[in-house]
Chains A and B, each alone.
Chain A
Amino acid sequence: MNKKELMNNKYFIAALFLLPAVIFSLIYLIIPIPLSTYYSFFKWDGIGAMEFLGLENWSKLLSDPIFWSSMANNFKLVLISLVVQIPIALFLAVLLTRKIKGANFFKTIFFVPMLLSSIAVAFLWRYMYDPTFGLINGFLNLVGLEQLTRSWLGDSSIAFYSASAPIQWRFIPLYMIIFMAAISNIPKQLYEAAEIDGANNWQSFFYVTLPMLRSTVVNASVLIIVGSLKYFAMIFALTGGGPNHASELMATYLYTKSFTEMNMGYGSTISVALFLVALIVSVVFLNFSKKDVRN
């Protein structure tokens, strides 16, 4: 091939465009997963000798009640996050893209949760949830609702839900911004046409805004789903996965096994399982939603 043909060859061009991304991914992303899979067949504390176990870690995983309950927690988090974050983010995005005074101010403050680190957020919420001194119980006592006061983080039956609340609070602004960007991309003519047809605000929203946002919402959903399945930070900071694994997530479980208990082999097993679960769920979701987008 001469130079001109090479430059025009689509494989060559594609390769050039992809090269930088592939290099980074190869070194830092692609190697760890097969490596983790390799470790999952061994008993290894990370520093000493490795003992071959065959599929033992995997059979242990399949019958490990903590793993399954942590996966259940992850799926609960997916559902909660989808149901809470998307509607609220949409709502706020719609409100803020209208011409109201102080929109910029609101936009700035609303984004602060995303900017704070999980550590900061965990501090605050830990004190909010304190059964004796916390704001939440304090408020409930104040308005005469003492029977609703709880040990928010200490009660196994609600610890997980209590720890999930700050997560919603933290990520809503992100999707709000994403939706705002998408909404402002909707051609004004569509709204004008709808108005001419006599549509009011609600109808504009449902028949113009929403359909145009469909692919953005799908994208946001994928981000939420994957993020929730992988999630670690806030739950680990607030409850450590406890009490007694009540709020354990796959990622917190894998961290505890790998780094606290130094059971790298089993920890790797969990991380490969996490990867597979997230992969399957996302592929399924994308296939399912692509059918709609094609319309």
Chain B
Amino acid sequence: MKKFSILSLALLMVFSLFSVSVMAQDEVNLTLWDIRTASDQVTPALQDAIERFEADNPNVNIEHVPTQNDNYKTKLRTAMSADNAPDLFMTWGSASLERYVDADKVYSLESHMTEDWESNFMPAAMDLGRVNGELYGVPVTNVSPALVWYRTDLFEEYGLEVPETYEELKNVVKTFKENGITPFALANKNKWTGSMYFMYLVDRIGGPEALQQAISRKGAFNDKPFIEAGRRIQELVEMGAFPDGVNGLDEDAGQSRTLLYTDRAAMYLMGSWAYSSFKNEAPDMLDQFSFFNFPAVESGKGDPSNLVGTPGDNYYSVSTKAANKEAAVEFLKYLTDSKMGEELINIGNIPPFTGVAEKIDDPIMKKIYNSSQEANHIQLWYDQTLPLELAQVHLNTTQALFGMEITPEEAANQMEEAAQEYYGE
């Protein structure tokens, strides 16, 4: 009897050892959730990365599930809520990633960060993937600052130079307005579009410290820079710098760009992805577009080379629920290697990787790259930086500023009240 049981025990152990090693060769299935639908720019580059990864790792299969932008957020949150997260997922870094980290949904990449891999990325981009000093997401898609795109031919026609200060900008606005052209093409139903003006003004007037202090509660959201920014926005609104019914125009339906393409507007403050919009929508006018940095405010503290935008755009992470984290992290390496960088450049993006400068040919893209490098600070969009509750208040109050429905003081006070409530003061 004893002999038999020892034998069977031994057999069992051998058998299980055998099956473990067999399992290591078994199929690994990784689900990847992001926003790379058929129409998204980056999709070809992503699919190329998937193919390369699967070719080198034949036992791993990546199941890519793309969902359109806004729907994606709902879908991901619901899945996270029911503890059914995908193995790999995408966020926009900073607050959007932090939320999931705080709920223990994200796997820390710290242990996988070799010096080699880390040196691959632009430092500014890496920062947004870190929560409490630990890395939870890698930047992948685009260094994308908001720039003032403008119609070079219209500027020439009315004898205008690129404005370097706010006063010069007001002059540009006046000239266009007098000639029946809407100075800025802006569609603000979506709220984030108008908030770029606000963010830049705050940065130019109070420097990046203004926001940082407000968030760290050493300052407040109704400090002078915020009120002053609101005042200047309303000043521009009253000068007619923005289209009629600006708060009812939809950016996603292209109601801003259509003004730009039909000579009814001259400038367009938008992220660098605008360049690909132009390529897709009005390729025959492409060489009539260039950009300048948002003007400085002369009395302001801000550095005019600073940018508002995102140094990484999309960040990819591994969830704590992933069964095979090694494979998942391995895939992230393919998503951020030099081949991916090349693919991204072909698409018209500037990857958040080091050593890409030489590979960029397009003059406009070179200019974007240089602006990004020269910036001492890239301020991430407030609606990604601030906690969600505050982000909404910011978006709503800024929209109200454009609609002249609220005074700059009221807008700033509402933000401060919401902040006090959120931070529990």
Contact = CB atoms under 8 A, between A and B. Distances in A.
Interface of A: 45-49, 123, 126-127, 129-133, 150-156, 159, 239-240, 242-245, 256, 259-264
A123 B254 CA distance: 11
Interface stretch (B137-145, B210-218, B245-253, B268-276): B245-253
A244 B248 CA distance: 11
B81 A243 contact: no
B248 A46 contact: no
Given A45-B99, A47-B103, A242-B191, A126 B399 contact: no
A154 B77 contact: no
Given A154-B403, A240-B189, A259-B73, A47 B245 contact: no
A126 B253 contact: yes
Where chain A touches its partner, the secondary structure class is loop
Nearest to B258: A133
B403 A127 contact: no
Of B248, B259, B392, most buried by chain A (CB within 10 Å of CB) is B248
B400 interface: yes
Interface in B92-118: 99-100, 102-103, 105
A151 B248 contact: yes
Interface in B373-396: 388-389, 391-392, 396
Interface of B: 73-74, 77-78, 80-81, 99-100, 102-103, 105, 188-191, 243-250, 253, 255, 258-259, 264, 388-389, 391-392, 396, 399-400, 403, 405-406
Contacts of B258: 133
A132 B247 contact: no
Given A242-B191, A259-B74, A48 B243 contact: no
9 contacts: A45-B388, A46-B81, A129-B248, A132-B264, A156-B247, A156-B405, A243-B188, A260-B388, A262-B99
Given A47-B105, A261-B389, A152 B396 contact: no
Contacts of B392: 256, 260-261
B177 to A, nearest CB: 15
Contacts of B246: 151, 154
B403 A123 contact: no
A240 B191 CA distance: 10
B245 A152 contact: yes
A152 B248 contact: yes
B228 to A, nearest CB: 21
Contacts, number: 106
A288 B264 CA distance: 56
Contacts of A48: 99, 102-103
Contacts of A245: 396
B80 A151 contact: no
Nearest to B244: A131
A243 B399 contact: yes
A153 B399 CA distance: 13
A256 B388 CA distance: 11
Contacts of A239: 189, 248
A130 B189 contact: no
B81 to A, nearest CB: 4
A46 B244 contact: no
B400 A244 contact: yes
Given A132-B264, A156-B405, A262-B99, A242 B245 contact: no
B382 to A, nearest CB: 14
Contacts of B255: 126, 130
A154 to B, nearest CB: 3
Nearest to A244: B400
Contact of A131 (B99, B188, B191, B243): B243
Given A132-B243, A154-B403, A242-B399, A47 B248 contact: no
B388 A259 contact: no
A46, A152, A256 — which one has the most chain B CB atoms within 10 A of its CB? Answer: A46
Nearest to B259: A132
B90 to A, nearest CB: 16
Nearest to A259: B74
Contacts of A150: 245
A245 B399 CA distance: 10
Nearest to A264: B81
Given A47-B99, A132-B244, A256-B392, A126 B250 contact: yes
Contact of A244 (B78, B259, B403): B403
A156 B396 CA distance: 13
A242 B248 CA distance: 8
Given A45-B99, A133-B258, A256-B392, A242 B247 contact: yes
A47 B243 contact: no
B389 A263 contact: yes
A177 to B, nearest CB: 31
Most chain A C-beta atoms within 10 Å of own C-beta, residue among B78, B99, B102, B403: B403
Given A132-B264, A151-B248, A256-B392, A47 B400 contact: no
A263 B103 CA distance: 14
B248 A243 contact: yes
Contact of B249 (A47, A130, A256, A260): A130
A243 B403 contact: yes
A239 B249 CA distance: 9
Given A45-B103, A131-B245, 13 more contacts: A126-B253, A129-B248, A133-B258, A154-B189, A240-B189, A242-B191, A244-B247, A244-B406, A259-B73, A259-B74, A259-B77, A260-B392, A262-B99
B317 to A, nearest CB: 14
B192 to A, nearest CB: 11
Contacts of A153: 189, 245, 247-249
A155 B99 contact: no
A153 B248 CA distance: 4
Contacts of B396: 242, 244-245
A200 to B, nearest CB: 48
Contacts of B78: 46
A231 to B, nearest CB: 19
Contact of B253 (A47, A127, A240): A127
A130 B250 CA distance: 9
B248 A159 contact: yes
A126 B389 CA distance: 28
B354 to A, nearest CB: 34
A251 to B, nearest CB: 15
Contacts of A47: 77, 80-81, 99-100, 103, 105
A26 to B, nearest CB: 20
Contact of A243 (B99, B189, B244, B264): B189
Nearest to A257: B392
